[in-house]
Structure formats: C-alpha cells, structure tokens
Structure 1
Amino acid sequence: MYTKLTGCLLLILILSSCKNENKKENADTWRTKKSAEENATHNQLLEVEKKEGWKLLFDGETLNGWHLYNDPNATSVWEVVDGELHSNANDESLTAGDLVTNDAYENYELILEWKIAGNGNSGVFINVQELPDVPTAWQSGPEYQILGADHMDYDVPEKRPGCLYVFQPQKNKVEIEQGQWNTTRIKQMNGKVEFYLNGVLTAEEDFSSPEWKSQIANTHFAKYPEFGKTTEGKIALQYWYFETWFRNIKIREL
C-alpha cells in the first residue's frame, strides 16, 4: 500500500541519488585536462622528478644560471615576467642576443615549454661553444627550430618547428597551436640526438658520424669552423626580433 511515508522515503532516495550524481560530475570535471592545467604549478620539480635526477634550469624568478652570449654583464632583452622567461622585443635600449647557460652539457635530456609571436622565429641551440671569436651561438650550435605559425618559413620543410634547422624536414609531421604552450624535448647521448615537439619525434641525428660532417659541408654552415663540431657544449635560447616565452625548463644528465 502506498502511503505518505512511502512517498517521502522515495523522494529522499531520489534527492540523495541526484546529490551523488552531482558529486561524481564535479569529481570528473576536476580531473579534466583543463583543470589540471589551470591548477598546475610551474617552474618547480615534483619529488619523483628530483629522484630521477632532474634539475631546474629556470627558477621562474631570476636569470640565475644564464647570461647573454659573449656579454654576461649586459642589460639584455631577456627578462622574467609572471614566472615566464620573456624576450622583450619592444625596448631598443636593451642589448639583443641569445641567452646561454653558464654550464656546458654532454649527455642529457632537456625539456621546456615555449610560445611565440605569430611571425616569431626562435630556437634552442645545443653544443654551443662560447668563444670570443665566434660572434653568435648559431655559428657553433645546431638548432632545434622554434617558429610561429604565421611565419613565412612555417611551411618550408627543413625550417618547420621541431626540425634540426635546415638539415632535415620533420621526421613525423606535427603542427603547433598558435598562442598556446608547446613542449620541446631534446635528448643527447654519446652524440646521438633526438628532438621531440609536443610528444612527437621530429628529428634524429648522430653528431659524431662522418655523415653529419658531410651534411654540414653541403650547407652555408660549412664556412663556420666551429659549427656542429662537438657533442658537448652550452644550451642557448635564440633571440630574433619578436617576442618568445619559455617556462618549465629542466634538465637531467644521463
């Protein structure tokens, strides 16, 4: 027999069920990628990363560990703004140039995030030899290409983001979302290098091989005697007239 008491109990069960469903929905929403990104803490290492040997190359507050290539005391275009390493392309009173690590590295894995102006051009140079008679980082260090999606070279196969600049097209095609953060990963072990863009392998090369020397000889880099010569050196971030932002720069030696 249906009574008022039975009706009340049924209503309570329905309300309770709705409440639980709302809790589940809220929990699922909390776990979404968007929420994770919004609540991420940048320029810090997780405990598991520390155990794996990762170290921060950028603390999110200072330029400690970095200096302007061949001009360490300059007031440069590089600055820290809101936890991001930023190249200030709007103040002509600042000294322009590439930002280079104080230390050199040989066998390592490097991860960083970047975004760039639509027509911007930048890169990560590796195995850089900082020498007084080598005016710029690119004259010694091979480049992981960073490029804005509106740049005129964006669709040039050997100049796309993630390429080993001018030497190879992307090994696997990958696009960037303009204005969004992109992830670069560079791994070098005994001269063998791998480039990744947003988790996709984009380049492989052996800098200790005779084939690499032959490749250099067939490009304009042949006239720079230090270019691509070693499998050890500093890491540099390229400045090239337009704004670029970097964060979460970390490295572990292998």
Structure 2
Amino acid sequence: MFGKITGFALVLVMLVSCKSEKKKEETETWRTKKAAVENAVHNQLLEVEKEQGWKLLFDGETLNGWHLYNNPGSKSVWEVVDGELHSNANDESLTAGDLVTDRAFENYELTLEWKISGNGNSGIFINVQELPEVPTAWQSGPEYQILGAEHMDYNVPEKRPGCLYVFLPQQNSVEIKQGDWNKTRIKQVDGKIEFYLNGVLTAEEDLGSPEWQKKIAATHFSKYPEFGKTTEGKIALQYWYFETSFRNIKIREL
C-alpha cells in the first residue's frame, strides 16, 4: 500500500512540475512577444527591406517629401507627433487640406499603418494630378477608403474601409481595429491595383481598362475631367475634420 501511495505521489509531483514548466514557458513567451511589441522600432527600414528596394516616405520626424495639396509652404493641419504623421483637427488657425507626396509614382507597392477616431473619415488617394485647375486631390485620384468604426457610413458596402471608394464593396470582408493600428497595402502595376486591409484583399481594379471608364461615367466622379484618367501620379493622405495618424509609410517601385 505504501509503495502505491509513494508511486502516485511521484507521478503527481511530476505532473505538477510539467504544468509549472509549461506555464513558465508560456509566460516567458508572452513576455518576450509583449516586450517585442512594446519596443518595436517604427519609421525605419530593416536591412532586408533595403535589399528589396523599400524606401521610407515618412521619416518619423519631419514632413520632408510631403506638402499640402496645391498649397506648399503653408502652415497646415499636418504635424509630426511622437513619430506619427498626425492631422490636427483642433487648431482652426492651421490650413486644412490633403497631404500629398512631392513626387509621382507609377508602378509600386505601398504599405503604411493608420489609426483613426471612431467617427473619423480619411483615405489614401493614388494617381493624384496636382494641378491649379483641380482644387482637391479627390477630384483626380481614386481613393482607398479609411473610416472609423463609429462613422455612419461604416456599413455602407461601397464605403467600407479598404474599399475602392464608391466603386466596389469589400472583395473579402474585414473589420478595422478601432483605437489601434491598422495596416494598408496598395499595389499598382501597369494600372492594375490591389488594395489590402490588415492582410485581407479588399479590392482589385484595372484603371487602364475601358470598363473602369464606364464605372466612372456611372458616378458623380464623371463631373471631374481628370478623375481616374491616369495610372501615374502622386499619393495623398486625406484630411476630413477628424484626427487620423499614420506611421511606417514605405514604398518600393516595381
């Protein structure tokens, strides 16, 4: 009897010990992952990214490479705060408008992260033609939609986050992480675009096709002669009265 009890106790001790070791291992793994997230370095390129041809469009410290659409040199609502490109919606003395790259791009892959207020509305315009006769970026550039989860349009199919705004509903359903960072990827090759939100493909379109021109003709964008006509142009970040932040804006030309 004593031998059986001793054997049982030994097995019990071994089981408890294994569980403790497993818990310790899981705890250490969690701490390591948590520490990695907390100490992540933003707005910098890894060596492998440099080798792949990636470049920063935002250095985390300045607005170098960007300016207010049709209004360079103005004191705009766009500012850099704690390594984030931020739209200041609280200071009415600042000049409102969309932020546009200094140069144009044609075939490329763009990635960035964004965070927006609950009722916020923003977007990324591509193939923007910055011309005096075109007052705003959206009158020439198709839009990757960015929207807060509390916005009244959040569940409108053609206005969901990641959509090709107005033209296509999400190709695959995906939600944003409200109050946290979301990741956007945009790829354009010879006018063929792909939009991704948090790793999910949300839109595809051929901006060089006759079908695309027919789609434009069926919307209010038909009133703007420069809209969606080219497959090359500047990239713009939309300002729309609510706070939005961007970081880790990277591009590689293809």
* TM-score (normalised: structure 1): 0.90
Matching residue's letter, 1:73:
G
Q: Does 1:197 align with 2:197?
A: yes
Count of aligned pairs = 241
Aligned residue number for residue 3 of structure 1: none
Q: How far, CA to CA, are the matches of 1:168 and 1:252 in structure 2?
A: 26
The aligned amino acid for 1:205 is: E
Paired residue secondary structure (1:79): strand
Instruction: Render the CA deviation track for 1:47-95: whole Å, top value 9, x for unaligned.
Output: 0000000000000000000000000010000000000000000000000
Q: Tell me whether 1:214 sits opposite 2:233 in the alignment.
A: no
Question: 1: CA distance between counterparts of 2:231 and 2:26?
Answer: 52
- State the partner residue of 1:54: 54
- Alignment gaps of 5+ in structure 2: 1-13
Alignment-derived partner of residue 144 in structure 2 = 144
SS of structure 2 residue aligned to 1:73: coil
Residue in 2 aligned with 1:133?
133
Q: Does 1:99 align with 2:85?
A: no
Deviations 1:149-175 (A, max 9, x none): 000000000000000000000000000
CA separation in 1, counterparts of 2:41 and 2:107?
Answer: 28
- C-alpha separation between the residues in 2 aligned to 1:87 and 1:190? 32
- Distance in structure 2 (CA, Å) of the matches to 1:100 and 1:211: 28
Q: Give the aligned residue type for 1:196.
A: Y
What residue in structure 2 maps to residue 10 of structure 1?
Answer: none
Q: Deviations 1:101-127 (Å, cap 9, x if unpaired)?
A: 001000000000001011000000000
Alignment of 1:60-209 (within 5 A): 60-209=60-209
Q: Distance in 1 between matches of 2:246 and 2:182?
A: 10
- Residue 11 of structure 2 corresponds to which residue in structure 1? none
CA shift, 1:177, in A, is 1.9
Instruction: Tell me how far 1:20 sits from its aligned partner.
Output: 7.2
Q: Secondary structure at the match of 1:104?
A: coil
- Match of residue 30 from structure 2: 29
* Amino acid across the alignment from 2:108: Y
| Runs of 4 or more consecutive aligned structure 1 residues displaced over 4 Å after TM superposition | 16-23
Q: How far 1:35 sits from its partner (Å)?
A: 3.1
> How far apart, CA to CA, are the structure 2 residues paired with 1:101 and 1:252?
14
Task: Please report how far the alpha carbon of residue 38 of structure 1 lies from its aligned counterpart in structure 2 after TM superposition.
Answer: 1.0
SS in 2 for 1:124: strand
Amino acid at match of 2:229: K
Question: What is the deviation of 1:31?
Answer: 3.8
**Secondary structure class of the residue paired with 1:205:** strand
Q: Aligned with 2:102: secondary structure? A: strand
| Separation in structure 1 between the aligned mates of residue 218 and residue 125 of structure 2, nearest angstrom | 20
Match of 1:226 in 2: 226
